[in-house]
Structure 1
Amino acid sequence: MLVDVLRREGAATRGRLISATGLSRATVSSLVVEMQKEGLLCETRYPTATGQGRPPARLTLERSAGLAIGVDVGVRHIAVAVGDLSRRVLAERWISLPHGHSADHGAPTVLRCIQETLDEAGADPHGLVGAAISIAAPVAPERGQFMIPGVLPGWSGQQLANLIGERWDIPVAVENDANLGALAEHTWGDLQGATSLLYVKMASRLGLGIVIDGSIYHGAQGSAGEFGHITVDPAGELCWCGRRGCLEMYVGGESLLRQLELPDSAAMDLRELVLRAEDPRIGAAINRAATVLAQGLSTLALLFNPSVIIIGGELAVLGDLLLGPARQAMNNIPFGRPIPVKTATLDGRGSVAGALALVLSDSSRFTDHAATSPAVRSAGRGLPHH
């Protein structure tokens, strides 16, 4: 139970552990002392803002309590990170790959990157709690299978999960990249801990991650957040999903490049749109996309009333060209205060950081390989209330 709280929050005072677990002060103190003796807990006091008074001690899990692996399979890269249960990132790897890389080449690269990252972190494989994989496709959360094909043909999240799970004998989860981008911002971003957070990933396609009370919202069948496929023009262009006039056809990176008929060299990197935004034709296309996006974000704001809407992905570097119309749209919503619209804090690291955050925070899914000490087991399973 104590471990659950520390994994979810990263650090906590004794008072917070008491309120979050319902255990008595004496029970929490006893467990803390036992876990400290076994080298599983670290206690730190940070100076107060005024520099006066004795600051409360904050407890975090030591790396001996368990380690996690995060993997991001992107359109042009593979990223891997290793972290401990107190949210310290111990080592990272980023490998650039050709656009639309194959699974035959990419899967062995993932395995090699994981091993190199573990070596750099000085990680004991027996201390691994689990791994999570970020991939650009709607994923059935219980099975880890794609609900529709992703942007990387030939890749299978479940096959990669099986390879990693068998290699290191750990549980592995597969999750949508936008969902993990949202979880990363909630865990590490400037607005970490926001009650409700929407993360819009603007890249080749358009995705939405929803975090409510610290957890990803999947919906009944796992397809919540398919923001790119709300209809903005019933008579519009035919989308790859089979519907007409989807938002993604007007706002997604692939759509923008297609409208502009840019040469292949420019299409290889959506960020080049920023460098060429002063071109009147490109600027006009971005402005049209920003206007349509603002309408879509207004709908999200009315439906969810989130604490914040965060724009991430490769097109987020367009900054105010995208966010200006969106912020104006928030000002025009008649209910409550305007919803803040901000760019992502973690930029390109969002998906791999979110994968790491999923393992670090979800003790219900990643418990089989937790540290085997009696203190951790008793704290994780809970004790009778006093």
Structure 2
Amino acid sequence: MTIDKGRNSQINKQHNRGLVLKLIATGQCRIRAELARQTGLTKMAVTNIVSELIDLNLLIENVVEPDEFLRKNAIALQISPEAPKIIGVLIFRDRCEAVLCDLSLNIIRRERINIEQLTRDLLIQTIFTLIDAMVSFEPDLLGIGIASIGPIDKQTGTILEPRYFYNIKNVEIVDILKSRYDLPVFLDHDNQCGALAEMLFGFGKGFRDFILLGLSRGIGSGIVIDGKLQFNNQGLAPEIGHVSIDYQGLDCVCGNKGCIEMYAASPVIRDTLRKSTGRNLLFRDFCLFEDDERIDAVFIDVIQKLAAALVSSVNLLNPELILLGHDSVCFPDKYVNLLEQEINRRKFTSPSHVVRVRKTYFKEDSQLLGAVCNVAIQAFDGKLLFGAVEESDS
């Protein structure tokens, strides 16, 4: 993995502090020597930064036993239990969830409220209820991150007009939460958040270029290129779910024809399986019966359709990895392997460039934990936590 390098100029000290915090929080470095080697900073600069972070109650030291990486007892660094925590909120069609985490993404507390019917006001009140529970448990907070079904406008902090979402639209959720809690609030598309969590802490950590594909009521995506999330100047996320696989195909709610989500969204797969088998099961339950020939035939067809859409994206972006999130984490492994085989068989680039396909590291929690990462990345980029730190030689 390519590690961001430290910067030795005066104007980049906040960046350096954030980088050191990131490498420790994400488990990429444990000791000062590793930090100096990975960042390119001098040992003295690393020592100064670490001392500041300890003084700020962000890091603590521990003596660790030798292992395959450390040949002798060493003073290891880790996130302090006294460091401020982060609230993450997931806004989804059938539920809202909140989680309280530390900077290493360890879950401290979580709450969930299921949704059957919803209005704009009830959505806001539901989010208040979840966040209030977290704030009452832990008042020392760095910020609130929101992962929402899209489309969203990152620049204005607005949930625009998600499909199949009770006709709720134009919710200025960032301003609403800032006003109530007086904390930094950051909003992003749920699958972009999932990709961020995987990039910082999950299976994306070893890759600079990857796609996260989330199957649910629709099909969404998060894309990382050269270690950066991709979005336009409004913060609109890429929508692989609306890549057409048939220009004369089914009419999609977006106005296009043949969009992949019309054929491979999880409710569509479930309904096809119910018709094929006569069994009234949930999507995840059907995934347990891969040996049933009728179920196997449906999944093979779905994989072929997903491959058709993903090959177009692979030919455009040349990712190293595709991560399957949301309901697709329930896919039996043989279909994940088949999808990888089909993508690599059909793509344009040479056979030496193999695109890996696997399920997300955090399974169905990638998007929720990604909400936390919306805030954590601000600290790791030096934009939070360090504004009041005095200038030094680090």
1:30 paired residue number: 48
Partner residue of 1:170?
183
SS of residue paired to 2:172: helix
Partner of 1:80: 98
- Kindly tell me: are residues 102 and 274 of structure 1, through their superposed partners in 2, closer, same or farther at Cα, counting changes over 3 Å? farther
Partner residue in 2 for 1:138:
151
Alpha carbons of structure 1 residues 37 and 206: separation in structure 2 relative to 1, 3 Å: closer
CA distance in structure 2 between the partners assigned to 1:190 and 1:46 by the alignment: 26
Q: Which residue of the partner structure matches residue 291 of structure 1?
A: 304
**Correspondence list, 1:227-376, <5 A:** 227-257=240-270, 259=272, 269-274=282-287, 282-320=295-333, 322-332=335-345, 333=347, 334-335=349-350, 336-363=352-379, 367=383, 370=385
TM-aligned CA deviation for residue 157 of structure 1: 7.1
1:119 aligns with 2:136: yes
**How much has 1:97 moved relative to structure 2?**
2.9
- Output the CA distance in 1 between the equivalents of 2:170 and 2:86: 18
TM-score, normalisation: structure 2? 0.81
> Which residue, out of 48, 68, 72, partners 1:54?
72
Distance 1:268 1:154 in 2: 28
Distance 1:77 1:20 in 2: 41
Q: Is the 8 A contact 1:203 1:270 kept in 2?
A: no
- Residues 65-114 of structure 1 deviation map (CA, whole Å, 9 limit, x = unaligned): 4321100012222211112234333222223332x544433332222222
| 1:75–1:272 CA distance, 2 compared to 1 (3 A) | farther
Q: What is the CA distance between 1:227 and its match in structure 2?
A: 0.3
CA distance in 2, matches of 1:268, 1:175: 32
Gaps of 5+ in 1: none
Say whether the 8 Å CA contact 1:129–1:367 is kept in structure 2: no
Q: After the TM superposition, which of the residue ranges 349-358 and 164-173 deviates more from structure 2?
A: 164-173
Give the drift of 1:6: 3.8
Q: Label 1:168 to 1:25 Cα distance change in 2 as closer, same or farther (>3 A).
A: same
Helix, strand or coil: the match of 1:108? Answer: helix
State the number of aligned residues: 371
Say which SS state the counterpart of residue 231 (structure 1) adopts: coil
Matches of 1:260 and 1:58, distance apart in 2 = 52
Give SS of 1:362's match.
Answer: helix
- 8 Å contact from structure 2 (residues 22, 380) kept in 1: no
Deviations 1:261-285 (A, max 9, x none): 76xxx99953244256666655433
The 1:261–1:84 alpha-carbon spacing in structure 2 relative to 1, beyond 3 Å, is: closer
> Could you tell me how far apart the structure 2 residues matched to 1:203 and 1:71 are?
18
Measure how far apart 1:199 and its partner are. Answer: 0.8
Matching residue's letter, 1:361: I
Which of 113, 131, 141 lines up with 1:95 in the alignment? 113
Q: CA deviation at 1:247?
A: 1.4
Code of the aligned partner of 2:360:
A
Q: Which residue of 2 aligns with 1:110?
A: 127
Matches within 5 A, 1:370-385: 370=385, 377-378=389-390
Instruction: State the Cα distance separating 1:367 from its structure 2 match.
Output: 4.4
Mark the CA change 1:323 to 1:86 in structure 2 (over 3 Å): closer, same or farther.
closer
Give me the whole-angstrom Cα distance separating, in 2, the residues matched to 1:16 and 1:138: 41
1:358 to partner: Cα distance: 1.6
Preserved CA contact (<8 Å) 1:183 1:214: no
Question: Per-residue deviation at 1:162?
Answer: 3.0
Contact 2:311 2:343 in 1 (8 A): yes
Out of 149-158 and 169-178, give the one that drifted further.
149-158
The structure-2 alpha-carbon separation of the partners of 1:139 and 1:6, relative to structure 1 and needing over 3 Å to count, comes to: farther
Which of 13, 16, 19 matches 1:5? 19
Residue of structure 2 equivalent to 1:205:
218
Deviation at residue 346 of structure 1 after TM alignment: 1.4
What whole-Å deviation, never above 9, does each CA across 1:239-269 have from its counterpart, x for those lacking one? 100011111111112433555676xxx9995
Check whether the contact 2:188–2:374 (CA below 8 A) recurs between aligned residues: no
Give secondary structure in 2 for the equivalent of 1:162: helix
In 2, Cα distance between equivalents of 1:277 and 1:329: 19
8 Å CA contact 1:136, 1:151 repeated in 2: no
CA distance in 1, matches of 2:127, 2:79: 28
| Counterpart Cα distance in 2 of 1:208 and 1:4 | 27
**CA distance in structure 1 between the partners assigned to 2:172 and 2:234 by the alignment:** 21
* Identity within the alignment, %: 23
Structure 2, unmatched stretches of 5+, are 1-13
| Equivalent position amino acid for 2:361 in 1 | T
